Amino acid sequence: MFLEWIASKRTAAWCLWFFEWAVLIFTWLYPVSTTWSRALFVLDIAALYFTSLLLALRHTVGRGLLLGLLAVSMLFLCLPGRPYARDVLRQSTARCMIAYQGTRYCWGGESRFGIDCSGLVRRGLIEADLEQGLLTANPRLLRQGIFLWWHDCSARQLGEGYLSFTRPLFTTASINQTDPARFLPGDLAVTPDGSHVMAYLGGSQWIEAHPDPGKVIVVKVPSSDNPRFQIPVKIVRWKQIDPTVR
């Protein structure tokens, strides 16, 4: 009876539905990512789903599709998953980061409307997880992408292996002086003070969200005009794409 009463309030339900879409678009476009913005995004998706379900309450086909979609999605995400090709995920991570080249720098940002250094390297792996998870129908990768998206971390935390996301490889006097053969695409370089992180793309190229030019740039090494490539850095690797970790 309660659901039928709600469904009878069609005008109010439609207004609520459009409002929830507006909130969803705002949280999607707003570049700065925080615990509150991520929580709002998740809650708004849930609210949008249930409002859509109420609007479809009198339509058997629509109601069945919505309930079926939820059931299939939850069941799929709960499946154990299977091993994945780490080299493919590694290349996908590099490709996803390159897509952000030219994106404006925004402290705390994590979207194509503004991004910072840790946001860039995180988005690369998050998008690779989701992309490969969908392409290979592997719920394990989807869960890993969602987990990484929810647990934000700074450049310093990446250098310290926050939540076992990364593992340390070595410390080098400078990237300029290091043989590129020691790096794999997706490897991260964290500055000594933990204020900045860069990622290796392969082919002696690195990518970073740089505050000085105010955008994401790709740097070919050795580089004489970028001081971050001339100082000691800690090299760490995402465990997800580490060929030595199982």
Q: What is the pLDDT of residue 130?
A: 97
Is the separation of the CB atoms in 195 and 189 below 8 Å? Answer: no
> Domain coordinates of the chain in residue numbers?
2-78, 86-241
Residue type, 166: T
State which CATH number among 3.90.1720.10, 3.40.50.1820, 3.40.50.261, 3.40.980.10 fits the domain covering 86-241: 3.90.1720.10
Query: What's the distance, CA 79 to chain centroid?
Result: 22
Is the separation of the CB atoms in 233 and 190 below 8 Å? Answer: yes
Whether pTM > 0.85 for this model: the answer is yes
Residues of the chain with pLDDT under 70: 1-8, 246
Q: What is the C-alpha to C-alpha distance for residues 178 and 231, in angstroms, rounded to an integer?
A: 11
Q: What is the pLDDT of residue 1?
A: 52
Starting at the edge strand found earlier in the chain, the sheet holding 188-190 runs 166-172, 233-238, 188-190, 197-202, 205-210, 215-220
| Among candidate residues 173, 179, 218, 210, the one with its CA nearest the CA of residue 192 | 173
Q: What is the pLDDT of residue 176?
A: 94
pLDDT per residue over 152-162, tens digit each?
A: 999 999 999 99
Q: What is the pLDDT of residue 3?
A: 52
Q: What is the pLDDT of residue 143?
A: 96
Q: What is the C-alpha to C-alpha distance for residues 239 and 245, in angstroms, rounded to an integer?
A: 6
40 phi, psi to nearest 5 deg: -65, -40
Q: What is the pLDDT of residue 64?
A: 85
Interaxial angle between packed helices 86-98 and 117-135, expressed in degrees from 0 to 180 and rounded to the nearest 10: 130
Is the separation of the CB atoms in 216 and 101 below 8 Å? Answer: yes
